[in-house]
Structure 1
Amino acid sequence: MNGPKTTKADSPSGKNGAAISELVQNNEVDAFLGLGDFQYDIAQCEDYVEYWTKLWGGTMPKLYWVSGPSHDWRPGRNEDLEKFMNGECPGSEAKAAVNQERGFTGNGEPYSKDFGNWHFAFLSSAQWRYDTAKAKELTKWLDDDLAAAKAAGKHLAVVHHEPYFTSDTNEHERAKNHKPWVDVMWKHRVRLTLSGSQHNYERSCPVNNEDECVDDGMTAFQVSTGGIGLRSFLSDPSYIEKRFSDTHGFLRMTLREDGSFDWNFVPTTGSSTDSGTRSAP
């Protein structure tokens, strides 16, 4: 979201943070989902307080977050994101919404949250990089969590940092190691997924776990346009329906009780956008 030592209000990050903070402060959104890579490059407490808070701190009252590998969390190097989100970094006592509700939440700890008739599962992609055994355990957690929510009649969504349904860039390919999670998502017919990491914007067709566009697939949104430099696409997957890499902004969604939803990408620096509706199942 925020570049190294970035505090300028007229930067792409500053414009994005201000726009989202205004929605939060005016109670115009129910939640802000932070998909990872909060503060570049190797963020510790002082970086979150001195830089991220100045531009994005207004989002904290509605913030539900996941940690990504490297920039957010790397064991033994930078582990302060969990402290910051719980108001434990010197100079910042504000807690993210999820921490207000659940208390201390570890960097790699999964959790889930209902928003109306929608159930969201939040998972840390960093587990696949740092603790494969734990990542596999989380596959079981995800299976149980989604099964219970589905039995309760909820519509399902999953949030994780590294995308599986994505175009290649010069930095990242798809997160192939996430396939066990994707298989579970397909098993329970997850309606949508949210991820980041690529420094651009993408939306898939409703897609299954074999990269096929199908009516009951999951719509995968990859939104990593918070303020860092954007990256060009190096491949052209058939399941991607819309993408661009020239605009910073954020995705605003309206989720309905019947499982239908609207999306609208709001540009804050640049002019590309994307909007649409997916009907109820």
Structure 2
Amino acid sequence: MNGPKTTKTDSPSGLNGAAITRLVQNNEVDAFLGLGDFQYDIAQCEDYVDYWARLWGGTMPKLYWVSAPSHDWRPGRNEDLDNFMNGECPGSEAKAAINQERGFIENGQPYSKEFGNWHFAFLSSAQWRYDKTKAMETTKWLDDDLAAAKAAGKHLAVVYHDPYFTSNTEEHERAAELKPWIDVMWKHRVRLTLSGSQHNYERSCPVNNEDECVDDGMTAFQVSTGGIGLRSFATLPSYIEKRFSDTHGFLRMTLREDGSFDWNFVPTSGSGTDSGTRSAP
């Protein structure tokens, strides 16, 4: 979201943070989902307080977050995101919405949250990089969590940082190690996934765990247009329906009780747009 030492309000990050803050302050959104990375480059307490909070701090009352590798969380280098989100960094006592509800949440700890008739699971893909044992434990947690929500009649969504359904860039390919999570999502017919990391915007067809467009698949959004420099695409997977890499902004969504949803990408620096509706199952 925020570049090294970035505090300028007219920067892409500043324009994005201000636009989303207005929605939060005017109570026009129920939640702001922070997909990471929050603060470049090696983010510690003072960086979140001195830089990120100046441009994005107004989103905290509605913020639900996941920690990403390696800018949000890399063991032994920068491990302060969970402290910051719980108001424990010197100079900032504000807590993210999920921390106000649940208390301290450790980097990498999965959690779930219901918004109306939708059930969201929040996962830290950094586990696959730093602790594969915990990543596999999270796979079991996800299976149980989604099964219970589905049995309760909820529509399912999953949030994680490193994208699986994505075009390559020169810097990143798909996070293939996440396949066990993707298999679980497909098993329970997750309808919506949100991820970031690539420094551009993409939307897939409803896709299954074998990269096939199917009616009951997952619509995968990859939204990493918060304020860092954007990256060009190097490949074009068949399941990608819309993408651009020249625009900063954010994705605004309306989720309905029947499982249908609308999406609208709101540009804040640039002209790329994407909007549409997926009908109820």
Indicate the TM-score class for this superposition, using the shorter chain for normalisation. over 0.9
Q: Which residue of 1 aligns with 2:101?
A: 101
CA distance in 2, matches of 1:31, 1:78: 26
Q: Which residue of 2 aligns with 1:153?
A: 153
CA distance in 1, matches of 2:273, 2:87: 35
Write out per-residue CA displacement over residues 207-234 of structure 1, whole angstroms, 9 at most, x where no aligned residue. 0000000000000000000000000000
- SS of the aligned residue for 1:259 comes to coil
Q: Which residue of 2 aligns with 1:180?
A: 180
* Identical amino acids, percent of aligned pairs: 89
- SS of the aligned residue for 2:254 comes to strand
Q: Which residue of 2 aligns with 1:208?
A: 208
Q: Which residue of 2 aligns with 1:235?
A: 235
Instruction: State the AA in 2 paired with 1:229.
Output: G
Q: Which residue of 1 aligns with 2:131?
A: 131
- SS of the aligned residue for 2:265 comes to strand
CA distance in 2, matches of 1:133, 1:36: 22
Instruction: State the AA in 2 paired with 1:3.
Output: G
- SS of the aligned residue for 1:156 comes to strand
Q: Which residue of 2 aligns with 1:222?
A: 222
Runs of 4+ in 1 over 3 A off after TM superposition: none
Q: Which residue of 2 aligns with 1:37?
A: 37
**What is the aligned residue count?**
281
Write out per-residue CA displacement over residues 204-262 of structure 1, whole angstroms, 9 at most, x where no aligned residue. 00000000000000000000000000000000100000000000000000000000000
Q: Which residue of 2 aligns with 1:51?
A: 51
CA distance in 2, matches of 1:39, 1:101: 23
CA distance in 2, matches of 1:182, 1:70: 22
- SS of the aligned residue for 1:193 comes to strand
Gaps of 5+ in 2: none
Q: What's the TM-score, normalizing by structure 2?
A: 1.00
Write out per-residue CA displacement over residues 70-100 of structure 1, whole angstroms, 9 at most, x where no aligned residue. 1000011100000000000000000000000
1:166 Cα offset (Å): 0.1
1:67 Cα offset (Å): 0.4
Write out per-residue CA displacement over residues 164-214 of structure 1, whole angstroms, 9 at most, x where no aligned residue. 000000110000000000000000000000000000000000000000000
CA distance in 2, matches of 1:69, 1:2: 15
CA distance in 2, matches of 1:236, 1:149: 34
Q: Which residue of 1 aligns with 2:140?
A: 140
CA distance in 2, matches of 1:158, 1:171: 24
CA distance in 2, matches of 1:24, 1:7: 20
- SS of the aligned residue for 1:242 comes to strand
Once the two structures are superposed, the pairs formed by residues 186-197 of structure 1 within 5 Å of their partners are 186-197=186-197
Q: Which residue of 2 aligns with 1:247?
A: 247
CA distance in 2, matches of 1:278, 1:8: 37
CA distance in 2, matches of 1:10, 1:36: 21
- SS of the aligned residue for 1:266 comes to strand
CA distance in 2, matches of 1:4, 1:228: 9
Instruction: State the AA in 1 paired with 2:4.
Output: P
CA distance in 2, matches of 1:78, 1:236: 34
CA distance in 2, matches of 1:102, 1:79: 19
Q: Which residue of 2 aligns with 1:273?
A: 273
Q: Which residue of 2 aligns with 1:256?
A: 256
CA distance in 2, matches of 1:67, 1:53: 16
- SS of the aligned residue for 1:27 comes to coil
Q: What's the TM-score, normalizing by structure 1?
A: 1.00
CA RMSD of aligned residues (A): 0.3
CA distance in 2, matches of 1:270, 1:77: 34
Instruction: State the AA in 2 paired with 1:193.
Output: T
CA distance in 2, matches of 1:236, 1:80: 36
Q: Which residue of 2 aligns with 1:163?
A: 163
1:35 Cα offset (Å): 0.1
CA distance in 2, matches of 1:69, 1:53: 20
